[in-house]
Amino acid sequence: MQLFPATSRTSIFYLLVLLLLSYATDAHNITSILAKNPEFSTFNHYLTITHLAGEINRRQTITVCAVDNAGMADLLSKHLSIFGIKNVLSLHILLDYFGAKKLHQITNGTALAATMFQATGSAPGSSGFVNITDLKGGKVGFGAENNGGKLDATFVKSVHEIPYNISVIQISKILPSAEAEAPTPGPSQLNLTALMSKKGCKNFADLLSASGAEKTFDDNLDGGLTVFCPTDEVMKIFMPKYKNLTAEGKVALLSYHGVPVYQSMAMLKSNNGLMNTLATDGANKYDFTVQNDGEEVTLKTKIVTAKITGTILDEQPLAVYTINKVLLPMELFKASPTPAPAPAPEPEPEPEADSPKAEKNSSPPDPSAPEGEPADQEADVNGGVRFNGVRCFAVVLSMWLGAALLV
Ligand SMILES: *[C@@H]1O[C@H](CO)[C@@H](O)[C@H](O)[C@H]1NC(C)=O
Ligand SMILES: *[C@@H]1O[C@H](CO)[C@@H](O)[C@H](O)[C@H]1NC(C)=O
Ligand SMILES: *[C@@H]1O[C@H](CO)[C@@H](O)[C@H](O)[C@H]1NC(C)=O
Ligand SMILES: *[C@@H]1O[C@H](CO)[C@@H](O)[C@H](O)[C@H]1NC(C)=O
Ligand SMILES: *[C@@H]1O[C@H](CO)[C@@H](O)[C@H](O)[C@H]1NC(C)=O
Ligand SMILES: *[C@@H]1O[C@H](CO)[C@@H](O)[C@H](O)[C@H]1NC(C)=O
């Protein structure tokens, strides 16, 4: 009656549990989808190094228009910078579901699809849209909008479809787009404060310039930088407290809103945890915690929980997001329920300082501060339930397996 040696029984059991665990996360993985088709290996490689793969994986409804290695060779022969390649490839990621069937049955025969290039905020005019048109003889044409109405590429085949989550299709060639291929200014030539000013964070940008904190941000532009800027409304309300800080405190507060690494939205959404900032300096931790909950990303200091409300720019190596609250470091502001252990840095007396000491500035309890705790608990409860569910299933499975193998 010996059907399987004991070792293979256990390995079958672990295999099943592994399978089960992989079903427990229902997200798709574009890298492994494309890995099954060697003809897309170059396309796949560039999705990874441009961080677009993570961006695709976190979207729930997405269509990837892949081109084969020959198509990618044409693109690479243009010798674009990696930022240019990223823009071109983001034009091939449609923010809607287009399976083979839907492509051939487009209402009125033509549609404009928004792409991830549009979502980066760096696509001028309507250049971030792709025109999809049903042509004669069952063909489907694709062209970048703003390309003189030319539909350069056609649908080749469906590669992978999970309706209505992800569709991977092959198109005949890369969509030419002068806008996507335009040389992107090297990040260090970029005027960060001018960019923020244009996109609703003028107050924060002006303070960066006035305080001298701007230089620290600029110095980090090339190596990777993420900025969380409070919007103008938020900054306006905060101004009385800001004015109370010493010159040194002001620089620390502003620098606390920058992180010296590039964090795309996808990375923020998949990595919870502590983050050091541009204000971090030896004993002065000046860190905060990133915590995501589905589509929402929050930044928690000991005093306040802010939420990311928008993306101004997300292009490696620079990401700039808007937030709905000023991040208050405990090094400068006392936590309301328990006094902060770390005192504010002792500043030299400086003429600009409007108040004698930063540490005197015990801000009133922020109404939003307690918000974080229920959310925490909720997350823990959910995690526990999910874990128990899996474990419970695994126990049942092992019993069933044991019975099946012993019969
Ligand atoms: C996706 O799959 C690739 C290769 O199969 C793997 O290296 C990568 O870690 C996976 N990504 C995620 C987010 O699971
Ligand atoms: C299709 O065409 C009709 C008539 O021209 C128009 O009323 C309708 O809005 C179009 N539908 C879409 C989805 O463009
Ligand atoms: C797409 O391009 C075709 C061909 O230039 C044009 O006739 C059609 O109106 C365009 N579709 C949309 C939705 O703009
Ligand atoms: C599609 O995505 C949703 C949300 O992530 C998930 O619940 C569902 O199981 C997915 N469908 C398939 C067929 O994977
Ligand atoms: C950035 O732009 C602002 C005006 O928008 C200007 O005052 C400042 O000098 C510029 N900075 C650099 C480094 O060019
Ligand atoms: C600023 O500091 C002064 C003196 O320490 C204090 O009276 C005032 O309440 C503070 N204002 C704010 C908005 O924190």
pLDDT at 249 over 90: yes
Q: Which ligand is nearest to the CA of 57?
A: 1
pLDDT at 382 over 80: no
pLDDT at 204 over 90: yes
- Within 6 A (CB) of ligand 4 lie 26, 60, 162, 165
Question: Which range, 242-256, 261-275, 310-324, has the best average confidence (pLDDT)?
Answer: 242-256
pLDDT value, residue 146: 86
How far does residue 240's CA lie from ligand 6's centre (Å)?
A: 8
Q: Would the CB of 188 count as within 6 Å of ligand 5? A: no
pLDDT at 308 over 90: yes
pLDDT at 12 over 80: no
* For the CA of 165, the nearest atom of ligand 4: 1
How far does residue 105's CA lie from ligand 2's centre (Å)?
A: 14
User: What are 52-107's pLDDT values in tens digits?
Assistant: 998 899 889 999 999 999 999 999 999 998 888 999 999 999 999 999 999 999 98
Q: Is 107 found in the same domain as 79?
A: yes
- Expressed as residue numbers, the domain containing 353 is 188-367
Q: Is 137 found in the same domain as 253?
A: no
Q: Is 260 found in the same domain as 300?
A: yes
pLDDT at 227 over 80: yes
Residue 255 lies in a domain: yes
pLDDT value, residue 309: 96
Buried b (16+ CB within 10 A) or exposed e, 231-264: bbebbeebeebbebbbbbbbbbbbbbbbbbebbb
Query: Which among 82, 78, 70, 71 is positioned nearest to 46, based on CA atoms?
Result: 82
Q: Is 209 found in the same domain as 149?
A: no
Residue 211 lies in a domain: yes
User: What are 100-123's pLDDT values in tens digits?
Assistant: 999 999 988 999 999 999 887 778
Phi and psi at residue 184, in whole multiples of 5°? Answer: -80, 135
Minimal-distance CA residue to ligand 4 atom 14: 26
pLDDT value, residue 190: 84
Q: Six-digit token pair at 391?
A: 């474990």
How far does residue 74's CA lie from ligand 4's centre (Å)?
A: 35
Query: Which among 359, 213, 188, 365 is positioned nearest to 278, based on CA atoms?
Result: 213
Least confident of 37-51, 55-69, 126-140, 323-337: 323-337
Residue 306 lies in a domain: yes
Is the C-alpha dihedral spanning 134, 136, 141, 147 positive or negative?
Answer: negative
Q: Is 69 found in the same domain as 44?
A: yes
Using the 3D structure, point to which of 181, 198, 218 is the last residue of a domain.
181
Q: Six-digit token pair at 265?
A: 């939205």
Q: Is 171 found in the same domain as 88?
A: yes
pLDDT value, residue 7: 46
Question: Which range, 29-43, 117-131, 270-284, has the best average confidence (pLDDT)?
Answer: 29-43
Residue 317 lies in a domain: yes
- Do residues 295 and 320 make contact, with C-beta atoms less than 8 angstroms apart? no
pLDDT value, residue 134: 94
Q: Is 217 found in the same domain as 171?
A: no
d(CA 65, CA 179): 18
Q: Is 198 found in the same domain as 159?
A: no
Residue 383 lies in a domain: no
How far does residue 169's CA lie from ligand 4's centre (Å)?
A: 19
How far does residue 194's CA lie from ligand 5's centre (Å)?
A: 6
Residue 324 lies in a domain: yes
Query: Which among 143, 88, 62, 137 is positioned nearest to 110, based on CA atoms?
Result: 143
Q: Is 151 found in the same domain as 240?
A: no
Which amino acid, one-letter code, is at 404?
A
pLDDT at 32 over 90: yes
pTM over 0.85: no
pLDDT value, residue 294: 77
Confidence of residue 186 (pLDDT cuts 50, 70, 90): low
pLDDT at 176 over 50: yes
d(CA 254, CA 242): 10
Query: Which among 264, 260, 81, 285 is positioned nearest to 184, based on CA atoms?
Result: 81
Using the 3D structure, point to which of 165, 181, 197 is the last residue of a domain.
181
The chain-wide mean pLDDT, for the chain, equals 79
Least confident of 170-179, 180-189, 323-332, 378-387: 378-387
Q: Is 261 found in the same domain as 241?
A: yes
Number of structural domains in the chain: 2
Give, for ligand 6, the residue of 250, 303, 355, 362 to mutate: max count of ligand atoms closer than 8 Å to Cβ. Answer: 355
Q: Is 174 found in the same domain as 75?
A: yes
* For the CA of 30, the nearest atom of ligand 1: 1
Using the 3D structure, point to which of 164, 181, 198 is the last residue of a domain.
181
pLDDT at 361 over 50: no
Residue 9 lies in a domain: no
Q: Is 295 found in the same domain as 154?
A: no
Residue 391 lies in a domain: no
Question: What's the CATH code of the domain at 243?
Answer: 2.30.180.10
pLDDT at 365 over 80: no
